[in-house]
Amino acid sequence: MNLFHLLIVMFVLIIPVTESGAAAEAEYQVKAAMLYNFAKFVEWPADSFGSDSRIIFCVAGKSPLNSTIQQMQGKQVKGRTVSIRQVSRPDEVAGCQVLFIPHSENIRLSAYLQQANHNVVLTVGDQERFTASGGMIGFYEEENKVRFEINLEAAQKRHLQISSHLLNLARRVR
Amino acid sequence: MRDRITTTFRHYSIKRKLMVFFLLLSAVGIFVTTTAFLINEFYSHHQSARQEIKAQASILARNTSAAIIFSDKTAANEILSGLKANPRIVAVALFSMDHSLFAHYVAHGADNTRLRSEFTSLLRPSADPKVLFTALQEASGRFPFMEMRPLVSEPIILDNQRIGTVVIQTDLHYIYRELQFLAAIMTCVALTTFVIAWMLARRFQRIISDPIISLSNIIKLVSNEKNYALRAVSDSPDEIGTLISGFNEMLQEIQNRDRIVSEQQQLLLEEKNSRIRKLTAAVEQSANSIIITTPQGDIEYVNPYFCYTTGYSADEVIGKNPRILKSSDSDVSEKYRELWQTVLDGRRWTGEFLNRKKNGEIFWEQATIAPVLDDRGVITSLIAIKVDITERKQAEAEMRQAKEQAEAANHAKSEFLANMSHEIRTPMNGVIGMSDLLVDTPLDEFVDAIRTSADHLMGIINAILDFSKIEADKMELDEAPFLLRPFLGATLRSLFGKAEEKGLELTVQVDQDVPDSLEGDPGRLRQILLNLLNNAAKFSSSGEIQLYVGLESREDSALLIRFSVRDQGIGIPEDKLERIFESFTQADASTSKTYGGTGLGLAICKRLAELMGGRIWVESTPGVGSTFSFTVKLLDREHDQQSPARCLSFDGLTAMVVDDNQTNRLYLSTLLSGLGFTTVSEADCADVALEKLVSARDRACLPALLLVDLCMPGGDGWTLMESLKVQEGFDAVRRILMPSVGMRGDAGRCRELGVDGYLVKPIVTDEFHELLRRVLSLEAEDNHERWPVTQHQVWEEQVRLVLLVVDDVEVNRMLARAILERMGHDVTCAGSGREALELLSTRIFDAVFMDIQMPEMNGLQATAVIRAQEMSLGGRRMPIIAMTAYALASDRDRCLGAGMDGYVSKPVKPQKIREALERCHVIPIQTVKPSIHPLAGMPAVEPAGIKLPLLPGSVPLIPVFDRAGLVDRLGGEELVDIFVSKFLSGMLVQLDKLQAELDCGSVDTVRAVAHAIKGLAANIGAEQVRQMAIDMETAAGAGDLAGVAALHGCMLEVYEAFERETVADKSR
């Protein structure tokens, strides 16, 4: 299943936001966890980190991820402490290692992506055409399961190494 | 069990043992290797399997980490399905954090046999994964070796966080399969190796076992066949090779020994055989009968001689007892018993049997029967050796008879001789004795004739008796020691009278190498010498008679001495030379008429010489002379004799010899040179001698010693001595005069003329030495008053005895003492028999001179007592010599019968004393008179004194005082005066006694006194007095008192005459 389907499913799901709020919550819980785990399977170039031992997870806009991602705050990823940052505009992505662009920020997607390309950021989104647009990892829904797809090219452009293991799990790899 | 195996193993052959050993070794090696290998394989497989699983689990953990974290079961299953490629992985289970089964995989076709129970439970729908997880977790903690379905669990870690667990189960059965395969291969390999090992073993064990087996075979062969010539072959130098070499050497050794043993055995066998052959031959050939019987006496074997002797053949007697030979003539049961006893005891028996031959003949046999014993001493056989002694027995009987006859004849002969001796002597004694008695009668001429004839007859009888004694082998030789030179001197001296009469010169020469101390029969020797010398004198009218003594040969101490008597007489024609020693012959029938003689003398000499181990022969030229020589065997006793010190050194001295006889001069010169005199000059007459001496004096080289012969033509010795005394300058020369005959009065003359020594010829070496020594040690000053040194002095000092003189008359004692002391003896006097006995009990004497006629205890009684004491005390027999005036043979016999050993008649003379002592063996024999009876104390007849007859009243024919005789007996003048005065005082006593007894009229005492006077007078030399005393004694003995009274007056007269004579003497 591709991420597109996943997204559609997710839309369908999300449309009944209110009744599936919980479901949405659950979904974004999963995504948050996935996001956190993605970091475990990605290699950043050494100089892409700041002087401290943090790994910045940036969340763009407003989404349910914002709250769920908070759970990840302080966890360790390959020895680094996860730090969650809220990003409202694309120019704030500097210093982020991971950027999540929810589908709510779809409008600013290309801006974020562009901005992200100036830096070494792992871009993760759950838009339907995330990866087609140049995003690196896109979530999608399939059979009620959150799945993802990976744009390896994009990652490779930005010198991000994505583990084969992860790649194996992904739907589509470019 | 183990023992059985060990035993079984031991019983294997070497080959097998080696094979077993090798194979066992190989098997063990292979087995061990294989097993080790397999185990190793198993282990390593196991290990690798384990590691593999673990690796696999790790990989899976990593690979599935993403799937688990993203909960992508699909992905996870996909991954798991990739494990299909690994057939060994049986099942995998992925557990998420909550221990729920996330994904699982099970190999295709895995069933319960391969799956573990946990897994099968897990896969069941009703499974509770969580429980099972724990179980699995637990199970995976263990991974034992034998676990064929091991579990491994690995935590799935993502970013240092455990996100799940992966559990893998494998199936290790494949290992077994592998191992089986391997095992199979290994087994094949092992087997192959085993086979190869076996083949190799087979090949190589032979290196060891072959030599051993070969050796063992050889040994078996050797011991079975006893063939020690075999040898084992050795081709390797290792220990087996050494063993084989050693074995070979041993065999060689055995062979050698065997050879030696067999050689020795061979030798022994040969020896034994040879011995058996010899013994058999000895038995078979023996000229004695030999019978061998069983111990019971049954004949097993007889030798040919037996058959020959007895006439029985071997077959006839074998099995029978030798008793068959027994002749019925003898009873031998006793003999047999003794025989059996001896033989069964193991000893040899010898005896004689009178046996019977087969043909009935009787014969004597001497049988020696001996048992044969085996090693244990058991008798196995008896051997009898028999000698036919029939002839011997006969011979024995004949011999016995002959012996008896011979003995009888011999006995008869001895009896005859003894009888004859006695028969002849008795009348002879009568004749001689009677003629002696007739001496004082007017028939003196006739008496002389009778006496001469009687002597002559006695001589002939003695010769005949000697001869017959020699013929009858009854002559026994004496073995007495004697000194040669003195002996010769004495022998010759007895010839002097005759020689002097005929004007013959007597010389003697004894070789230096003839020793002086000899042992033999001097009597017989003297007999021969006297015979020869007398013959020489008889048949010579002029010239000299030389006696030469030389050493013919020597063997240790047995000497063969040669005596030669050379004369310058009529000689003996050649054709008579041989027969001259035969009995009863003289050279010429007419010789006996001219010269007399029995013709027996030389025959006796011949026999005597031969008896003494020598021979006699003669060389002669008629008209020139004859030399009679004989040899005798004498023993050298030089070592025994205590020679007087002969270390006389005359070295460097000079001497002169004056003698008209060249031989004498030569002899003396030789003697003197031998003694060390460097120069000996000679002169043949007094004048020449004087000339030489004068010139010597002038040249101041006078000789130290001068030896002068007395009888020389143209100036005798006396003349020379006179000249020397008168002339000046000869004081240093010691002079010795050498007459041929000792004359009375010469001593005095020597003294007057200053002659130092007086040596009567012939010169005897010992005396000569001693004389020279004395003479040369004299000082020149008291030349004048000295008596000359004579032989007697020299001679008589050689023996010193301790003597006892027993005589009641003092003068007699003194005289005897003087004479004996002069001879050099130690003299003690006793005045009576009793005193003598006392002295004898306190001191030891060498001999006693015992007067017979003594008051209280006479000599005979005293002797009897001494002898009785000796018998009871067991002492040595003391020689007692009678000293008496009794002169007759009967008196002698009485003395000897009383136990005396010798007899000296008064007047005692030194010569007689010496002879008596010699006869009693108190001193060694130096002068021996030929005696017929060894025990004779004196010849049968003692001349009773001067033969001049005396008629009553006629005095002048008998000297009043035989002074010279006294001096001669005393040996010097010194004591004459003393003795004379003693005699005179003694005589006074006797005369008084005589008077008294005459008045009493007791004839016996008168006789005794007369006897005493006789003795006294005889000793002193008052010859007339003596004669008177003899008459008186005879008359008194006849009881003629009137005659005695008449004689008494004469006695007084002659005594006074003596007194006058001696007084006159003193004043001279």
Name the percent of chain B lying above pLDDT 90. Answer: 4
B66 interface with A at CB cutoff 8 Å: yes
Contact residues on chain B for A37, CB-CB shorter than 8 A: 66, 69-70, 158
Beta-carbon count within 10 A of B90 CB: 26
Tell me what pLDDT residue B948 has: 39
B626 or B772: whose pLDDT is higher?
A: B626
How far the first Cα of chain B sits from its last, in Å, is 154
The token pair that represents B573 in the structure block: 């024609």
Judged against a pLDDT cut of 50, whether residue A54 lies above it is answered with: yes
pLDDT score at B561? 92
- The yes-or-no verdict on residue B621 having pLDDT over 50 is yes
pLDDT digits (tens, 9 = 90+) for A128-141: 888 888 888 888 88
Distance from CA of A145 to the nearest CA of B (A): 9
pLDDT at B952: 44
> Is residue B365 predicted with pLDDT exceeding 90?
no
Residues in A touching B72 (Cβ below 8 Å): 169
Chain A residues lying within 8 Å of B66, measured CB to CB:
37, 41, 163, 165-166, 168-169
> E strands of B637-709, at which residues?
654-658, 679-683, 705-709
Q: For the domain A3-173, what is the CATH code? A: 3.40.50.2300
DSSP code, position B934: T
Confidence at B933, pLDDT banded by 50, 70, 90: very low
The H-or-E segment that residue B532 falls in is helix B522-538
What confidence score (pLDDT) does residue B643 get?
Answer: 44
Q: Encode burial over B383-398: b for 16+ CB neighbours within 10 A, e otherwise.
A: bbbbbbbeeeeeeeee
- CB interface of A with B, residues 58-97, below 8 Å: 76-78
Distance from CA of B29 to the nearest CA of A (A): 54
Phi-psi region of B654 (alpha: psi -120 to 50; beta: other; left: phi over 0): beta
**Number of neighbours of residue B695 by Cβ within 10 angstroms:** 11
Which of A34, A76, A166 is facing B159, going by the closest CB pair? A76
pLDDT reported for residue B794 = 56
Q: How far is CA B289 from CA B123, B308, B915, in A?
A: 140, 9, 68
* Digit-coded pLDDT (tens) for B986-1024: 888 888 888 888 787 777 888 888 888 888 888 778 888
Alpha-carbon B898 to chain mean position: 47
pLDDT value at B889 more than 80 = no
Cross-chain residue pair A165–B66, CB shorter than 8 Å: yes
Q: What pLDDT score does B76 carry?
A: 86
The stretch B250-266 carries a mean pLDDT of 88
Q: Please report the pLDDT score of residue B767 as a whole number.
A: 66
| Residue B722 predicted with pLDDT over 80 | yes
Mean pLDDT of chain B: 79
Q: What mean pLDDT is predicted for residues B852-869?
A: 86
**pLDDT greater at residue B327 or residue A87:** A87
Radius of gyration of chain B (CA): 70
What integer pLDDT is reported at residue B563 of this predicted model?
94
Residue B582: pLDDT over 70: yes
Tokens of B351: 């005896």
pLDDT at site B953: 43
Q: What is the ipTM of this complex?
A: 0.81
Searching chain A, which residue's CA lies closest to the CA of residue B64? A165
Determine the average pLDDT of the residues in B19-43. Answer: 84
Mean pLDDT value of segment B45-51: 82
**pLDDT value for B951:** 43
- Cβ B159–A40 below 8 Å, yes or no? yes
User: What is the C-alpha to C-alpha distance for residues B67 and B102, in angstroms, rounded to an integer?
Assistant: 10
CA nearest neighbour of B946 among B1035, B1058, B1027: B1027
More confident residue, B418 or B564: B564
Which of B70, B159, B161 lies at the smallest CB-CB distance from A169? B70
Decide if B160 touches A, using CB distance below 8 A: yes
> Confidence class of residue B583 from pLDDT cuts 50, 70 and 90?
low
pLDDT at residue B912, rounded to an integer? 79
Q: How far apart are CA B849 and CA B880, in angstroms?
A: 6
- Chain B: residue nearest A170 by CA? B75
User: pLDDT tens across B493-511, in order?
Assistant: 777 777 777 888 888 888 8
For residue B562, pLDDT over 90 is answered with yes
* Residue B630 clears pLDDT 90, i.e. is over it: yes
DSSP per residue, B453-490: HHHHHHHHHHHHHHHHHHHTT------EEEEHHHHHHH
- Asked whether residue B641 carries a pLDDT value surpassing 70, the answer given is no
Query: Which of A40, A140, A162 best tests the B interface by mutation, with the highest count of B CBs <10 A?
Result: A40
Give the pLDDT score at B241: 84
Per-residue model confidence as pLDDT tens digits over B1014-1062: 888 887 788 888 888 888 888 888 877 777 778 888 888 888 888 887 7
Q: With 70 as the cut, is the pLDDT of residue B888 above it?
A: no
Token pair of B367 as six digits: 């049988």
Residue A167: is its pLDDT beyond 90? no
Query: How far is it, in rounded angstroms, from Cα B119 to Cα B127?
Result: 10
CA distance A91 to chain B (A): 31
pLDDT at B931 over 70: no
Tokens describing residue B728: 């000046």
CA B1009 to CA B989: how far, in whole Å? 10
Q: Which of B483, B631, B505 is nearest to B564 (CA)?
A: B631
- Mean pLDDT throughout B277-283? 87
Gap from A134 CA to chain B (nearest CA, Å): 23
Residues of chain A contacting B79 with CB distance shorter than 8 Å:
168
What's the whole-number mean pLDDT along residues B432-445? Answer: 67
Count of Cβ atoms closer than 10 Å to residue B420 Cβ: 14
Distance in Å, alpha carbon of A114 to nearest chain B alpha carbon:
28
Q: Are B496 and B741 in contact (CB under 8 A)?
A: yes
Length of chain A: 174
Q: How confident is the model at residue B345 (pLDDT cuts 50, 70, 90)?
A: confident
The first and second tokens of residue B632, run together, are 């005798």
What is the residue-averaged pLDDT of chain A? 82
Cross-chain Cβ contact A41/B63 below 8 Å: no
Average pLDDT, integer, range B576-580:
79
pLDDT at B762: 66
Give the percent of chain A with pLDDT over 90: 0
Cis peptide before B762 (omega within 30 of 0): yes
Q: Please choose, from the candidates A164, A145, A93, the residue with its C-alpha nearest in 3D space to the C-alpha of residue A124.
A: A93
Q: What is the pLDDT of residues B439-457, one digit of tens each?
A: 666 766 667 777 777 777 7
What is d(CA B292, CA B379) in angstroms, rounded to the nearest whole number? 12
Which letter does DSSP use for residue B133 in this model? H
A147 in Cβ contact with A1 (< 8 Å) = yes
Minimal CA separation from A131 to chain B, in Å = 19
* Residue B742, pLDDT score: 66
Amino acid symbol at B929: K
Distance set, CA A53 to CA A60, A82, B784, B816 (Å): 22, 9, 185, 185
- Per DSSP, the three-state class of B369 is strand
What does the H/E/C string look like for B957-1018?
CCCCCCHHHHHHHHCCCCCHHHHHHHHHHHHHHHHHHHHHHHHHCCHHHHHHHHHHHHHHHH
Helix runs in B70-145, H state only: 73-81, 117-123, 129-141
- Return the pLDDT at B887: 61
Separation of alpha carbons B675 and B672, rounded Å = 5
Q: Count chain A–chain B contacts defined by CB atoms under 8 A.
A: 31
Phi-psi group of B974: left, alpha or beta (phi > 0 → left; psi -120 to 50 → alpha; rest → beta): alpha
- B907 upstream amide cis, omega within 30 of 0: yes
Lowest-pLDDT choice from B865-869, B876-880, B974-978: B974-978
B69 with A77: Cβ contact below 8 A? no
Distance to chain A for B75, nearest Cα, Å: 6
